[in-house]
Amino acid sequence: MPFDRRAIPRGLLFDCWTAPDGRAMRRFHWAQPDGRPPRGRLLFQTGRADFAEKYLETIAHWHAAGWDVTGFDWRGQGGSRGDGDGDGTGTSARGIEAMLDDLRGFVRDWRRTDGVRHVAVGHSMGGHLLLRLLAERDVGIDRAVLVAPMLGLNSRPLPPMLAAGIARAAQRMGQGDRPLAHRRTAAIGRQGRLTGDADRYADETHWVGLHPAYRVVPPRWGWVAGAYRSIARLQAPGVLEGIAVPTLLVGTERDRLIDPRAIRAAAARMPAATLVMRTDGAHELLREVDAVRDAVLARIDAFLTEEDGG
């Protein structure tokens, strides 16, 4: 029977997790049935302006493979959007750094010392923040997967340094809450930038119709400036070279949101990295057409079940 992407599957539970600063966040968790030992624990984090319902099909895939799957909606978006979050851009007074604190606290609460493998998968901004966490060393994650990770913004035709400078200048001039103008949106279309699968793309519209607070909005200049600062932290000498956790980076050369060159460059600096760059698929590889999505998931599954050093 085909998976119903527009209904919460039985067994997937949502509850509240309290972040280190006291902020209430929406957490999801799907454990293996009683009496069935899990293959391990899998943490999955989405990208900017995402929410868990967009990835129900993928969460179900990992659960069926034997993992206990968990994660949370980032502050300011999805089910973790609060009354003071304005239009739900996923930003806060401390922006990306606050999200990193959330991830750090969540992993600390999620991690157990019972010998079960702990793995993490992050998409886009989630992959970026997961890599920031790995760079801190000793975070209790055995293997990590970064899917279309935000390691460089696709600022073309502007060079990254110039684009970062413009974002900083906009923030200094008090334009941090102003949305970016997407000049290419009309020509390319939002779906074309995200996925070639029209039905999976429409799933987002379905869920936003049920939960208007999930509405996706363009990034603000302040968020962009914070993203460039965080990217620069990873690009600093010695940071990526010190990450010993086996990590799979999966990107696509057709990504119009993330710079594929940055993904390749990061993988080359990481001693335990495996790189897979596809020539098909758009940014949301986990929501692509079956041929692309199935191949990506198969590669992730193989990586997560490899023995260390294998």
Domains of the chain: 13-305 (3.40.50.1820)
Predicted local distance difference test score (pLDDT) of residue 82:
75
Predicted local distance difference test score (pLDDT) of residue 309:
53
Q: Are 14 and 27 in contact (CB under 8 A)?
A: yes
Cα of 148 vs its chain's centroid, Å: 8
Other Cβ atoms closer than 10 A to 218: 14
At residue 179's C-alpha, the angle toward residues 146 and 224, to 5°, is: 40
Query: To which H or E segment does residue 145 belong?
Result: strand 143-147
Which ranges of the chain would DSSP assign to H, the alpha helix?
Answer: 56-64, 95-110, 125-134, 160-172, 185-188, 190-194, 198-210, 221-235, 260-269, 290-305
- Whole-angstrom Cα distance, residue 151 to residue 127? 8
Cis peptide before 157 (omega within 30 of 0): yes
Give the tokens for residue 86.
């304005």
Predicted local distance difference test score (pLDDT) of residue 186:
44
What stretches in the chain show pLDDT beneath 50? 86-88, 90-93, 183-187, 310
- In the block, residue with structure tokens 């990217």: 231
The pairing of strands 13-18 and 24-30 is: antiparallel
Give the tokens for residue 22.
């006291």
